[in-house]
């Protein structure tokens, strides 16, 4: 069966003596780790969690978070790992929406209990030690050792396995229901390109409440090991790759660029590192070159996906990166790649009719990795998954060879004087100015044009920018109707946990005047 529990049972049986977890607290084999999982399942069960229940997790990355998630699968309960950077009220809303019967909280987040967000669950908290050298009177380990392992409850492929909240960049958070089959399907689909092996050591760098964390599943199937970085800093990423001898990891372009500029880079042994996956946005050729120089014999792969797709949809393999850098087809680096096996993808207009090759339209997809919908949101599920296809809300175009180019979020596209403007294209133009450190372009109401373009810009330290300079810069590069006439210069932009700029938040700030800095 394509279930996370069948996968774990097989990996334990076949790779029982091989490492599952490599951590500062020690190394666990798959036999040992599975035993911990079965005890953790008993612990949850003793607290009243039954099959079909949901329970929250509030934790930085750790093997204990992985253990809790597996323990949920083991007993048939659904883990809900939550973004701890959200506001207390948002976290509370998620736990209530998901009807969580219990929350496992890393003691690092002790202050949250006093906050409103956990008070309603205060007698249903399982404290998880933060590990490392931190002093702790947490009872978790004692309790774990005191329980008897719970027998595995067999899951069905279509059972919900995991609930992940998404939507931070576009609106109110929605709980995405991912079934066992969804997650395992994507791990199988990825295997064609990731080519996992039992000698792999996957380092979990992005936060585990994000769907990108599911990338580790394909390595579990192959019998590989896992290591966890509690929180990303460039230095911590580098030293952990060295200390655990990590072979695979996923980073965002921002993380990669920060890491390549870090002083620790030169003194770190990265010889174990074999495959670097990046996603969320494309990366410029010069940074890919630098990454290849710095990381040695590493394969670089770009991926595009969504929480709703468990998560990967397209992959741009190493060969295309090499081709682009050899100058053969430089535009390929702007592509997020091609659909992985088992993913069907179409580009359609507002009537769900396919657009011609190379034309822009909404990306819609289907496949075994596509979620069956959102929790408690029948309307959004019906609309978002209409006619059997997930409507991603992303605007893209696909060329003759099947390479996908992302243009914009549908909601971020600006319609000005009847013309469609993709903010990503305008931003790419602004980024070419050395004085632009970061920027985002949004539409604001305009009496004449319906919408007008407003650019919010963070200036490179030391640089001096004005609206006149940037308008002049754009003039030779993009069509007149795409040039922003309004600018705001700010100190920073609101961002998600994956370093995506939160345009909804930005629009809200702009409209309420809450965006620091004068409008030019």
196 forms part of the interface with its own copies (CB under 8 A)? yes
Strands 275-279 and 54-58: unpaired
Least distance to its own copies, CB of residue 425, Å:
25
**Alpha-carbon distance values, 88 to 101, 106, 119, 156, 500 (Å):** 18, 15, 11, 35, 21
Q: In whole angstroms, what is the distance from residue 364 CA to residue 396 CA?
A: 10
d(CA 423, CA 500): 14
402 binding its own copies? (CB under 8 A): yes
- The number of residues that bind its own copies (CB under 8 A) is 29
Question: What residues are paired with 361 via a beta bridge?
Answer: 396
- Minimum distance from CB of 338 to its own copies (Å)? 5
Residue 367 sits in the site that holds its own copies (CB under 8 A): yes
In the complex, least distance from residue 9 CB atom to its own copies, rounded to whole angstroms: 8
Contact status: 280 vs its own copies (CB under 8 A): no
Contact flag: residue 204 with its own copies (CB under 8 A): no
179 binds its own copies (CB under 8 A): no
Task: Give the interface segment with its own copies, choosing from 134-142, 305-313, 339-347, 411-419 (CB under 8 A).
Answer: 339-347
- Selected range binding its own copies among 92-100, 164-172, 191-199, 473-481, rule: CB under 8 A: 191-199
| Smallest distance, its own copies to C-beta of residue 184, A | 7
Is residue 138 within the footprint of its own copies (CB under 8 A)?
Answer: no
131 or 339, CB closer to its own copies?
Answer: 339
Contact between 6 and its own copies (CB under 8 A)? yes
Choose the binding region for its own copies from 141-149, 296-304, 364-372, 429-437 (rule: CB under 8 A). 364-372
Give the other-Cβ count within 10 Å of 41's Cβ.
27
Task: Tell me if 344 contacts its own copies by CB under 8 A.
Answer: yes
Is residue 247 involved in binding its own copies (CB under 8 A)?
no
Q: Strands (DSSP E) along 324-432, which ranges?
A: 338-339, 344-348, 361-366, 373-374, 390-398, 404-409, 414-416, 419-421
Pick between residue 209 and residue 405 the one whose CB is nearest to its own copies: 405
Cis peptide bond prior to 311, omega within 30° of 0: yes
Per-residue exposure over 321-336, b if at least 16 CB sit within 10 Å of its own CB, e if not: beebbeeeeeebbbbb
E strands, 18-98, in order: 19-23, 26-29, 54-58, 78-81
The answer to whether residue 188 forms part of the interface with its own copies (CB under 8 A) is: yes
Is the Cβ–Cβ distance between 355 and 347 less than 8 Å? Answer: yes
215's tokens: 């990338």
**Interface contacts to its own copies, rule CB under 8 A:** 1-2, 6-7, 9-10, 13-14, 16, 184-185, 188-189, 191-192, 195-196, 221-222, 338-339, 341-342, 344, 366-368, 401-402
């Amino acid at each position: 069966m394509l279930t996370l529990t069948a996968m774990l049972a097989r990996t334990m049986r076949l790779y029982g003596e091989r490492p599952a977890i490599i951590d500062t607290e020690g190394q666990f084999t798959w036999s040992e780790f599975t035993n911990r999982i079965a005890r953790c399942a008993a612990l949850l069960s003793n607290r009243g969690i039954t099959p079909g229940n949901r329970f929250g997790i509030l934790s930085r990355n750790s093997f204990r978070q992985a253990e809790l998630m597996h323990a949920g699968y083991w007993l048939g309960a659904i883990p809900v790992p939550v973004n701890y950077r959200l506001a207390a009220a948002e976290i509370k809303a998620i736990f209530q929406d998901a009807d969580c019967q219990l929350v496992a909280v890393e003691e690092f987040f002790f202050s949250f209990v006093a906050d409103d967000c956990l008070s309603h669950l205060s007698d249903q908290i399982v404290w998880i030690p933060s590990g490392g050298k931190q002093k702790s009177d947490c009872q978790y380990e004692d309790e774990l050792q005191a329980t008897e392992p719970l027998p595995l409850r067999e899951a069905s492929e279509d059972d919900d396995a995991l609930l992940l909240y998404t939507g931070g960049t576009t609106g109110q958070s929605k709980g995405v229901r991912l079934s066992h089959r969804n997650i395992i399907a994507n791990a199988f689909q990825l295997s064609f390109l990731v080519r996992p092996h039992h000698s792999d050591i996957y380092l979990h760098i992005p936060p585990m409440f994000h769907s990108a964390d599911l990338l580790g599943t394909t390595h579990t199937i192959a019998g590989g090991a896992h290591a966890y970085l509690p929180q990303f800093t460039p230095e911590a990423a580098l030293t952990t790759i060295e200390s655990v001898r990590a072979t695979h990891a996923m980073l965002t372009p921002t993380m990669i660029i920060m890491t390549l500029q870090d002083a620790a880079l030169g003194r770190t042994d990265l010889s174990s590192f074999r495959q670097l996956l990046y996603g969320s946005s494309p990366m410029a050729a010069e940074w890919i070159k630098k990454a290849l120089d710095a990381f040695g014999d590493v394969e670089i792969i770009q991926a595009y996906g969504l929480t709703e797709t468990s998560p990967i949809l397209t992959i741009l393999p190493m060969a295309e990166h090499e081709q682009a850098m050899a100058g053969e087809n430089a535009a390929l680096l702007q592509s997020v790649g091609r659909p992985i096996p088992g993913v069907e993808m179409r580009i359609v207009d507002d009537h769900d009719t396919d657009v011609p090759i190379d034309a822009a339209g909404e990306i819609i997809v289907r496949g075994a990795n596509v979620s069956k919908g959102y929790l408690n949101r029948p309307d959004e599920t019906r609309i978002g998954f209409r006619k059997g296809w997930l409507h991603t809300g992303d605007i893209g175009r696909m060329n003759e060879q099947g390479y996908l180019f992302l243009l914009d979020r549908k909601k971020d596209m600006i319609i000005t004087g009847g013309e469609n403007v993709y903010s990503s294209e305008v931003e790419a133009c602004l980024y070419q100015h050395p004085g632009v450190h970061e920027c985002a372009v949004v539409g604001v109401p305009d009496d004449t044009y319906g919408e007008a373009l407003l650019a919010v810009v963070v200036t490179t330290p030391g640089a001096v920018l004005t609206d006149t300079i940037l308008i002049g810069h754009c003039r030779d590069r993009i069509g007149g109707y795409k040039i922003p006439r309004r600018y705001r210069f700010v100190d920073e932009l609101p961002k998600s946990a994956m370093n995506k700029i939160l345009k909804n938040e930005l629009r809200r700030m702009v409209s309420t005047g809450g965006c620091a800095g004068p409008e030019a």
